[in-house]
């Protein structure tokens, strides 16, 4: 009995050592290590095979060092599936540790900022204005993810002039031609002054990198947007719009940069395109159609490595709003930001 167990132990040990001699090791820039059999490689990527995870593609720009094993591969067992060499992701531990390592890697690769602006005036008139902005961006290979949140509040002589918050999430995927990209954008907003308590939009489109250099970047694109809007009262609205978008970045130097973005949305449908407010529908005007314009500019200057001074100009026009005096929003704000 002891001999049988001893023989089985030696067989498993020798098989493991034999397999380990076949494995090549890849060290990634984020600290992870990959061990496995390299199936193919070119100037852009390396493909590694795993019987547990399948084929894994690793971009070359994420590889710090690659050590190839010279040991010949052993033949697969006749009674089982072919052993094409495992790829083990060695992060120091498995389970919860690997999850924490992945989360830490995402946090290390994320860059963003938080901005705060506040202004109060008292005397002949009393006014309060507050602005909060936050954004975060994470890039992984050919995919870029961006999350943006904004909140505006303004009160003048006891009357609320602005009470709006908006959240958007954008995903951009680089296509085979590096000048083109696919884009998906999801946004949620509420505006209590305009009496719109829910505005959901989902868009998808294609874009072109018209200019890309160290000093400036210009992106142009178009797509389709699905919109669902609900106002106070009985009104709801769901429709599709065509849209054009553009964003531009210009770096004056390492400390000062200018960001600009614009978008246009339009739907030719007028009888379903106007928001209902308190049961009243502005589509009674046959000339009313659904379109909106947005234009944003931000000038950012670094005071220190983390602290920034920002000047924003925001213009928005929404023809679907019932009250003509509320169709246009225009504001200039200055904020102090913290970059991370």
- Tell me which long-range contacts 59-62 makes (C-beta under 8 A, separation of at least 24): 59/141, 62/28, 62/29, 62/30, 62/141
The two three-digit tokens of residue 323, written as one number: 């009250």
Residue 207 confidence (pLDDT)? 97
Q: Is 84 helix (H, G, I), strand (E, B) or coil?
A: coil
Q: Indicate the CATH number of 13-71+84-90 among 3.30.70.260, 1.10.1040.10, 3.40.50.620, 2.30.30.100.
A: 2.30.30.100
Q: Where in the chain is the domain with CATH 2.30.30.100?
A: 13-71+84-90
Provide the token pair at 157.
Answer: 């002589």
Which whole-number Å values give the CA distances from 93 to 98, 100, 105, in the listed order? 6, 10, 15
Assess contact for 295 and 273: CB atoms under 8 A.
no
Helical ranges in 40-182 per DSSP H: 96-109
Segment (H or E) for 11: helix 2-22
| Digit-coded pLDDT (tens) for 103-137 | 777 777 789 999 999 999 988 889 999 999 999 99
Say what the pLDDT of residue 335 is: 97
Entry pTM: 0.67
The 10s digit of each residue's pLDDT in 274-327 is: 444 444 444 444 445 788 999 999 999 999 999 999 999 999 999 888 788 889
The phi and psi torsions of 255 (rounded to 5 degrees) equal: -110, -20
* Fold of the CATH domain 113-339: Porin (2.40.160)
* pLDDT per position as a tens digit, 144-201: 999 999 999 999 998 999 999 999 999 999 998 889 999 999 999 999 999 898 999 9
Question: Which helix or strand (DSSP H or E) is residue 6 part of?
Answer: helix 2-22
pLDDT of 55 strictly over 50? yes
Cα 286 to Cα 116, 235, 242: the distances in Å are 43, 18, 20
**CATH 2.40.160.40 domain span(s) along the chain:** 113-339
Distance CA 152, CA 133 (A): 9
Radius of gyration of the chain, Cα coordinates, nearest whole angstrom: 28
């Amino acid at each position: 009995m002891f001999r049988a167990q001893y023989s089985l132990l030696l067989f498993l040990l020798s098989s493991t050592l034999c397999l380990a001699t076949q494995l090549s090791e890849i060290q990634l820039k984020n600290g992870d290590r990959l061990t496995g059999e390299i199936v193919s490689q070119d100037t852009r990527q390396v493909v590694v095979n795993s019987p547990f995870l399948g084929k894994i593609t690793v971009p070359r720009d994420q590889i710090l060092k690659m050590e190839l094993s010279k040991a010949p591969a052993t033949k697969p067992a006749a009674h089982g599936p072919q052993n094409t060499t495992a790829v083990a992701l060695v992060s120091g531990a498995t389970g919860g540790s690997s999850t924490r390592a992945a989360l830490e890697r995402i946090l290390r690769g994320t860059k963003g900022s938080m901005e705060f602006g506040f202004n109060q005036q008292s005397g002949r008139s009393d006014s309060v204005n507050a602005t909060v902005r936050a954004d975060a961006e994470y890039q992984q290979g050919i995919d870029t993810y961006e999350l943006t949140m904004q909140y505006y509040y303004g009160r003048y002589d006891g009357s609320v002039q602005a009470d709006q918050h908006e959240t958007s999430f954008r995903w951009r995927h680089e296509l085979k031609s590096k000048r083109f990209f696919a884009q998906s954008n999801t946004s949620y907003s509420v505006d209590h002054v305009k009496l719109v308590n829910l505005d959901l939009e989902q868009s998808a489109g294609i874009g072109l990198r018209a200019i890309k250099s160290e000093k400036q970047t210009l992106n142009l694109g178009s797509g389709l947007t699905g919109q669902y809007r609900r106002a106070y009262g009985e009104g709801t609205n769901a429709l599709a719009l065509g849209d054009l978008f553009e964003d531009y970045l210009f770096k004056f130097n390492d400390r000062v940069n200018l960001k600009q973005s614009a978008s246009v949305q339009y739907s030719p449908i007028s009888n379903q395109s106007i928001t209902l407010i308190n049961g009243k529908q502005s589509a009674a005007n046959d000339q009313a159609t659904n379109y909106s314009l947005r234009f944003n500019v931000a000038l950012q200057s670094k005071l220190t490595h983390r602290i920034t001074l920002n000047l924003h100009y925001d213009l928005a026009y929404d023809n679907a709003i019932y009250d003509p005096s509320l169709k246009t929003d225009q504001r200039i704000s200055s904020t102090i930001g913290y970059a991370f």
